[in-house]
Chains A and B, each alone.
Chain A
Amino acid sequence: MTRHRHRHILEVQGVTKDYQLGKTTIHALRGVDLAVSQGDFVSIVGPSGCGKTTLLNIIGCIDKPTSGTVILDGVDVSTFDDDREADTRLSHIGFIFQSFNLVGVLDARENIEFPLILAKVPKAERAARVDRLVDLVGLSEFAKHKPDELSGGQRQRVAIARALVNKPSLVIADEPTANLDSATSTTVMEAMRRLNEEEKVTFIFSTHNELIERYARRVLSIKDGVITGERRGGGGAA
């Protein structure tokens, strides 16, 4: 394991990702460089198929880059094996997915508690952390509900609480509002923004919705697998 100077929480250096589709090679990422600081609220925007999800998957140790390095909390994670990737996801990264991805056999509270069980956190501490997050995302009344008994917005709030429960360095949200109506999208984004400000959690989220972009402090544009520009988002003024 190589320790790097800890200036940024995340550094992506020259990352490429190629997929083989029959005899055709798809270049999903063509050399991405990116640095994210502690407490950032970064949005990655671009059209469908531009490489947003691929980049987030690589940052989140869900996928491996074809070349380049990903340094998370000063450690190069791009060469980790499956188990170390799983451990890194467990201890450093929280995920929020477009289609919520809650575990259907667990209720809202258990879904939030799941990463804590994997991390072997003692029961009393688990209960305390889950209680706090359930309150924080405003789901106290629905804690015992199964995912299919919750609305889209409620499910995404469960997913946010689950993403935060292990106190990750970084929360990755892949189009977190794509399956929500505009009012619920606003609620979810407000919740993420509040957690970013109050808990100092670093968020990177992708979207192709301009209304959602305004919550970000930094907006990175990506096109054809390359970051084409960066601008300050509306969140920077908040």
Chain B
Amino acid sequence: MIPALALRGALKHWKRSVVTAGAVAVACAVMIAVGSLLNGIDNSFLDSVIPNSGHVRIDGGVARAAVNPLGLRGLLPDADGLLDRIREIGDPRVAAAEKILSFGALLVEDRGEGDPRNLAMRGIGVSPETRFADNVRDALVGGDFLPGGRGICLSEEAARLVGARLGGTVLVLVRDRSSQPWYESLPVTGVFRSESRDFDETTFYVAEAKAAEMLDAAGQAREIRLLLSRREDAEKVAAELEKALAAAGSGGDSPAPRVQAWQAANASVVGLLVFVNVMLGVLMGLFAVVAAAIIANTSLMSVMERLREFGTMRAMGLRARELEKLILAEGAMNGLAGALVGMLLGSAVVALLMKGGLDLGGMMESLGLKRYNRPRPDPAWYALCALAGVGVCLAATARAARSVRSRSVAESLAAADAS
């Protein structure tokens, strides 16, 4: 009887039901869309950026602090030795360990006449089978990623700027460790187009062996990157590794290598993400509070204008507790309807954002994140938002129900009938 009466009550007072359900729907949709977007940004950072830049990094400790972070003074002098030691330790949590040799270079149009176009870029020397360039492999639009360790892989945009094309050549000009210029004509074996214009215009890849040859830095590396089976182990692995490497001695007079987990290596980005999460969390909280206030007000109005009807029901023999249940059931129905509409609305917004991605501006790129961010829908989050919508609606209605229950039957019957 109570559900049927509640449904009829909600339908008869449909305008108030629409306002209540509407408030739940909007709050739910906003929370779903914003939450999914946050999830997308976090996911892009944790599952895309972090694996490609390594869960744990080992470097000389001075590279980042140097005026020129691509200068060759901060290289790890015995990268091969370090790699060997890491392999000897044989930590089962480490899935892959690789040398990375990044350097500054000038790409120059290779046509041997006139005034060639050039572009200052960051070269990254990696193993052709590297586990740290999935983002580039996935973004290839032509050729292969350093097939057989040959050639150069650069972006479509960089190729356009220096007049190169797939199958053609480009001159790579560097200063080696003794500051002598070195240039070499490399065939363009792969062309990629990522979602980040900043990355595309600044980064190219060559085989690590070729980079070491050009820079006269055999056996050295800018850093060693470790890929772990679980990113959650990063801080523990980094601490243990740092201790183990220090105990083994880094050799010679060079300082002990610095071992950093991804959280420390990307502290500014992690901090920014925490800030964004908190800010958007506060925004979602505010939405929930505003929605709760609207729902509470509407529910109270709705029951107050039906006081006499409720008083009549109690005069007929309906117990106060049953009346409370009736009012709560009506609130739950409005909340459920709102939550369902909110889920549909939120899903539509998420689907729309997933199509084109949301442009969060160049600041994101400068932090190594994607400029265009796509939300990542999470069924658990959807369910939580829907539950929160129904819960807020129930809590707001409970206040109205308590207010009705606290009145005597005579008081309720004496109320003006607005229904």
A and B pair up:
yes
Binding site for B on A (CB under 8 A): 57, 60, 62-63, 82-83, 85-87, 89-91, 95, 97, 99, 101-106, 114-115, 117-119, 162, 166
Once A103-B309, A105-B5 are accepted as A-B contacts, the answer to whether A91 and B317 lie under 8 Å apart by CB is yes
Residue of A86, A91, A99, A101 touching B319 (CB-CB under 8 A):
A86
Residue of A83, A87, A91, A117 touching B1 (CB-CB under 8 A):
A117
Residue of A63, A86, A162 touching B314 (CB-CB under 8 A):
A86
Residue of chain A at shortest CB distance from B411: A63
Residue of chain B at shortest CB distance from A114: B316
Residue of chain A at shortest CB distance from B412: A62
A89 engages B8 (CB within 8 Å) = no
Query: Is B320 an interface residue, CB under 8 A from the partner?
Result: yes
A119 engages B317 (CB within 8 Å) = yes
Residue of chain A at shortest CB distance from B408: A63
A62 engages B317 (CB within 8 Å) = no
Once A62-B410, A63-B409, A83-B319 are accepted as A-B contacts, the answer to whether A105 and B312 lie under 8 Å apart by CB is no
A118 engages B318 (CB within 8 Å) = yes
Binding site for A on B (CB under 8 A): 1, 5, 8-9, 11-12, 308-309, 311-321, 408-410, 413, 417, 419
Q: In the bound complex, how far is the Cα of B321 from the Cα of A97, in angstroms?
A: 24
B309 engages A115 (CB within 8 Å) = no
Residues of A within 8 A of B5 (CB): 105-106
B8 engages A90 (CB within 8 Å) = no
Residue of B309, B316, B408 touching A162 (CB-CB under 8 A):
B316
- B30 to A: closest C-beta gap in Å: 33
Residue of B308, B318, B417 touching A86 (CB-CB under 8 A):
B318
Residues of A within 8 A of B12 (CB): 104-105
B309 engages A104 (CB within 8 Å) = yes
Residue of chain B at shortest CB distance from A102: B312
Residues of B within 8 A of A85 (CB): 409
Residue of A99, A104, A114 touching B419 (CB-CB under 8 A):
A104
Residue of A82, A95, A115 touching B320 (CB-CB under 8 A):
A82
- A173 to B: closest C-beta gap in Å: 12
B308 engages A101 (CB within 8 Å) = yes
- A62 to B: closest C-beta gap in Å: 5
Residues of A within 8 A of B312 (CB): 97, 101-103
Residues of A within 8 A of B313 (CB): 103, 114
- B275 to A: closest C-beta gap in Å: 50
Residue of B1, B308, B316, B319 touching A95 (CB-CB under 8 A):
B316
Q: Which 9 A-B pairs have the closest CB atoms?
A: A90-B317, A105-B8, A101-B312, A63-B410, A62-B409, A86-B319, A118-B317, A105-B12, A89-B317
A118 engages B316 (CB within 8 Å) = yes
Quick one: which of B12, B312, B317, B417 has the most chain A CB within 10 A? B317
- B411 to A: closest C-beta gap in Å: 9
Residues of A within 8 A of B308 (CB): 101
- A164 to B: closest C-beta gap in Å: 12
Q: In the bound complex, how far is the Cα of B11 from the Cα of A60, in angstroms?
A: 32
Once A103-B309, A103-B312, A105-B5 are accepted as A-B contacts, the answer to whether A86 and B317 lie under 8 Å apart by CB is yes
Residues of B within 8 A of A97 (CB): 312, 413
Once A104-B12, A104-B309, A105-B12 are accepted as A-B contacts, the answer to whether A90 and B316 lie under 8 Å apart by CB is yes
Residues of A within 8 A of B319 (CB): 82-83, 86-87
A101 engages B320 (CB within 8 Å) = no
- A82 to B: closest C-beta gap in Å: 5
A105 engages B315 (CB within 8 Å) = no
What are 30 of the A-B contact pairs (CB < 8 Å)? A62-B408, A62-B409, A63-B408, A82-B319, A83-B319, A85-B409, A86-B314, A86-B317, A87-B319, A90-B316, A90-B317, A91-B317, A95-B316, A97-B413, A99-B417, A101-B308, A101-B312, A101-B413, A102-B312, A105-B5, A105-B9, A105-B11, A105-B12, A106-B8, A114-B313, A114-B316, A115-B317, A118-B1, A119-B317, A166-B317
Q: In the bound complex, how far is the Cα of B413 from the Cα of A118, in angstroms?
A: 19
Residues of B within 8 A of A102 (CB): 312
Residue of A63, A87, A99, A105 touching B317 (CB-CB under 8 A):
A87
Residue of chain B at shortest CB distance from A100: B312
Residues of A within 8 A of B311 (CB): 101
Residues of B within 8 A of A101 (CB): 308-309, 311-312, 315, 413
- Given contact pairs A83-B320, A91-B317, enumerate 15 new A-B contacts (beta carbons under 8 Å): A62-B408, A63-B409, A63-B410, A86-B314, A86-B319, A89-B315, A97-B312, A97-B413, A103-B313, A104-B12, A104-B309, A105-B8, A106-B5, A117-B1, A119-B317
B315 engages A60 (CB within 8 Å) = yes
Quick one: which of A87, A97, A99, A105 has the most chain B CB within 10 A? A105
Residues of B within 8 A of A95 (CB): 315-316
Q: In the bound complex, how far is the Cα of B318 from the Cα of A119, in angstroms?
A: 9
Q: In the bound complex, how far is the Cα of B276 from the Cα of A103, in angstroms?
A: 52
B417 engages A115 (CB within 8 Å) = no
B410 engages A57 (CB within 8 Å) = yes
Residue of chain B at shortest CB distance from A119: B317
Residue of chain B at shortest CB distance from A101: B312
Residue of chain A at shortest CB distance from B409: A62
Residues of B within 8 A of A105 (CB): 5, 8-9, 11-12
Quick one: which of A63, A87, A102 has the most chain B CB within 10 A? A63
- A183 to B: closest C-beta gap in Å: 25
Residues of B within 8 A of A103 (CB): 309, 312-313
Residues of A within 8 A of B409 (CB): 62-63, 85
B316 engages A89 (CB within 8 Å) = yes
A115 engages B408 (CB within 8 Å) = no
Residues of B within 8 A of A115 (CB): 316-317
